[in-house]
Amino acid sequence: MKHLVGKSVTKTATFMGEEVEIRKMTLNEVFEIQDVAKKLSKSKDEKEQLNLLKTVLRKAVVGADQLTDDEFNTFPLGELNNLSDTVLEFSGMNTSTSGN
């Protein structure tokens, strides 16, 4: 099993009618997202909630880490939420409790 350390698992997902490649998040990344989500569950600030969404996508969508916040803000929220749900599900997280 040690030979698999650092290996990425990917698949394609549909975003705005196009295919994008998503990467299954590592256990450490899942824990990081869960910690941020727990802190945000006490906050009503919508901008903070959107920052969590962007963080998830930057970690898991190939190339999304190169997008600025302004570029992210040009996408429809529903499309971003759907992609985030796909990422979270692919990474083994229960999307019904993710807040998306």
Q: pLDDT class for 53, splitting at 50, 70, 90?
A: very high
Residue 5 lies in a domain: no
Q: In this structure, what token pair is assigned to residue 64? A: 């999304």
Mean pLDDT of the chain: 88
Whole-number Å distance between alpha carbons of 18 and 4:
30
- How far from each other are the two terminal CA atoms of the chain, in whole angstroms? 34
Q: What is the pLDDT of residue 16?
A: 96
Domain limits for position 78: 42-93
Residue 75 lies in a domain: yes
Residue 30 lies in a domain: no
Residue 79 lies in a domain: yes
Q: How many domains does the chain have?
A: 1
